[in-house]
């Protein structure tokens, strides 16, 4: 169990720096990320996406009001 906790904080298998994320985080080669219209790059992990959306409250509200995102989300 403890071993699994440490694995969450390990660096990716490859250490090839690819891009800088919106919060000055690092995105490594082979990691998936989202690119928003404003050019922000967000690592495609739930905790990182939630942090981005909470830091960009007005943008999040705009996304929630957008009919297209509701269709994608299955509403």
pLDDT, position 14: 57
* pLDDT tens digits, one per residue of 18-40: 888 988 888 988 899 999 888 89
pTM for this predicted structure: 0.61
**Residue 3: pLDDT over 90:** no
**Residue 52: pLDDT over 80:** yes
Q: At what angle do helices 57-65 and 46-55 cross, to 10 degrees?
A: 100
Reduce the secondary structure of 20-67 to three states and give it as a string: ECCCCCEEECCCCEEECCCCCEEECCHHHHHHHHHHCHHHHHHHHHCH
Domain residue spans of the chain: 2-73
Of the pLDDT bands very low, low, confident and very high (cuts 50, 70, 90), residue 44 is: very high
Contact yes or no for 3/9 (Cβ under 8 A): no
């Amino acid at each position: 169990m403890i071993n699994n906790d440490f694995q969450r904080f390990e660096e990716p298998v490859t250490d090839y720096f690819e891009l800088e994320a919106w919060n000055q985080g690092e995105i490594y080669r082979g990691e998936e990320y989202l690119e928003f219209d404003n050019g922000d790059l967000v690592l495609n992990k739930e905790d990182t996406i939630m942090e981005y959306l909470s830091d960009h409250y007005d943008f999040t509200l705009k996304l929630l009001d957008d009919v297209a995102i509701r269709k994608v989300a299955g509403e």
